[in-house]
Amino acid sequence: MWILGKHDEGIRKRRKSILELVGNTPLIELSKALPDDIKDKNIKIYAKLEGYNPGGSVKDRPATRMIVDAIREGKLTKDKIILDATSGNTGIALSMVGTALGYKVELAMPVFPEVASNIILSFVNFPSLIASTIILV
């Protein structure tokens, strides 16, 4: 497929794990973001599109790092549970990463309708998250 005259092969590349999609998000130049009164036209502003992470959030990066580091250091073993009190993206990311690596994940979240619907919709969109337990508090 061609997008704006460029091939999207890097985007369509097959991967073995959803975790291979964490990070390496696009960096986009915001050429029209500079005010007109800026004299130095060599100044460039860029934005990272963290929404391109598989969980749709910048929180995918720290969740992956925390879990991978804990495994590497021997602090997280298969007999342990990843537990988080969450109201959103960090819990979604921990659940996605933990489940992808074969760990049990339990999330405690407040019973606020807008928060609950955000997390529940994320679980529907990412079937790999269904292995996680949601505890409403």
Catalytic residues: 59
What is the Cα–Cα distance from 85 to 94, expressed in whole angstroms? 11
- As a three-state string, the secondary structure of the chain is CEECCEECHHHHCCCCCHHHHCCCCCEEECCCCCCCCCCCCCCCCEEECHHHCCCCCCCHHHHHHHHHHHHHCCCCCCCCEEEEECCCHHHHHHHHHHHHCCCEEEEEECCCHHHHHHHHHHHHHCHHHHHCEEEEC
What is the Cα–Cα distance from 6 to 57, expressed in whole angstroms? 26
